Structure 1
């Protein structure tokens, strides 16, 4: 089993519940190879450092851009069923869900990496093919297990003093009143805000060269599909350890 590589450990003014360790994983974007490595590290870390309760949180953007979106969802479906993993909805999942319902969404999806996702399901775009035809073929190729997985996606997850979302929150808006679109799409209004948000926010969505730790949030989207670096942070008490 691959050993955990502890890149850094740091404390923040927020804490997980007692006897609980949270593993949060950043944006995957079709890199099933990297996800498999992270899963192995999580399992190995749990064996080496047993604790009463463990929670896995995947922050969304499982599909598009990278080559193995279908396999990523296969792997996460197993973690959801076997480990009770929490899988959040990213903006890329939201757009894919949109295309599953409406062929017109294709023009918005393809520039985001939808072609790579379709290819992972064995679908190549035919010359002069209509969006309606591609929509029907994708529906036929989309497994029932993946439909159920998509139905299980959450927009946010709270644990202890931490709030896990894909993109961020709208500053100044109570957490219970957040717009789901902000949770999966917001950028500058959230990233530039330095005030306390009542909970410490763990998010992805905006790629950074390395995990970005601020006084009110941490960004763990390290652009895995392009950089080959998929980040997982283990939170225990007030300490964050990067695997």
Structure 2
């Protein structure tokens, strides 16, 4: 791999998963003059997803869509058919953060919870979530949520690959010299090697939210 070489220095923040407290601490550590990119998975598992979304929506940062945002949108679109996956992966905590309860998983209850969440979120937040991009690039660096197919250019990646990952992402090196900054897969510590910069340190479980500062030829990490 060639040296990492963004056209401009930027900061990428790993998966937040409802930890608004860690997000606020991280924002205090980041340089406000440097472009910030969030890699997705703002909701679920942690207890304060609603506050995380409100904070990010009103920021100047680039916010990418993760698989948990997609599952949340799928619940809003088809709660009876697609809600179970979200609810079993932290969706209940996100509902609670918006003041929405769900005591049972009957079709009627799911529909009522969807309607309540739809109202609590409001049009502006829902539209913001749906419009989130799937990647961001500068120089020979691409930021995505989960990973990328090493055989395809970033612009040709399937949306499902960018938000759910690819089976060869961790084992096959790209040949186009593009470094991938990503979250989604929890790691024991952040790393930058073999064209991949991994920054999901499992904030909801470990209490550690990680960001990478990427400059020409170097990557450094900060943890909140």
Normalised to the residue count of structure 1, the TM-score between the two structures is 0.85
Deviations 1:182-204 (A, max 9, x none): 00101432112234343100001
Q: Does 1:223 align with 2:211?
A: no
The farther-off stretch of 56-65 and 133-142 is 133-142
Q: Which runs of 5+ in 1 are unaligned?
A: 1-11
Q: Secondary structure at the match of 1:172?
A: coil
Distance in 1 between residues matched to 2:166 and 2:93, nearest whole Å? 24
Q: Does 1:164 align with 2:136?
A: no
- Residue 34 of structure 1 corresponds to which residue in structure 2? 22
Q: Does the CA contact (< 8 Å) of 1:187 and 1:206 recur in 2?
A: no
Match for 2:66 among 80, 90, 98?
90
Distance in 1 between residues matched to 2:15 and 2:175, nearest whole Å? 24
Deviations 1:117-157 (A, max 9, x none): 00000011134652212211111111333123213311111
Q: Secondary structure at the match of 1:181?
A: helix
- Residue 83 of structure 2 corresponds to which residue in structure 1? 106
Distance in 2 between residues matched to 1:41 and 1:201, nearest whole Å? 23
Q: Which runs of 5+ in 2 are unaligned?
A: none
Cα RMSD (Å): 1.6
Deviation at 1:213, TM superposition (A): 2.2
Match for 1:191 among 154, 160, 170?
170
Match for 1:77 among 37, 57, 75?
57
Going from structure 1 to structure 2, the CA distance change for 1:219 and 1:197 (only over 3 Å counts) comes to farther
Distance in 1 between residues matched to 2:174 and 2:130, nearest whole Å? 33
The farther-off stretch of 23-32 and 212-221 is 212-221
Match for 2:109 among 104, 118, 130?
130
Aligned residues: 218
Normalised to the residue count of structure 2, the TM-score between the two structures is 0.91
Q: Secondary structure at the match of 2:148?
A: coil
- Residue 62 of structure 1 corresponds to which residue in structure 2? 42
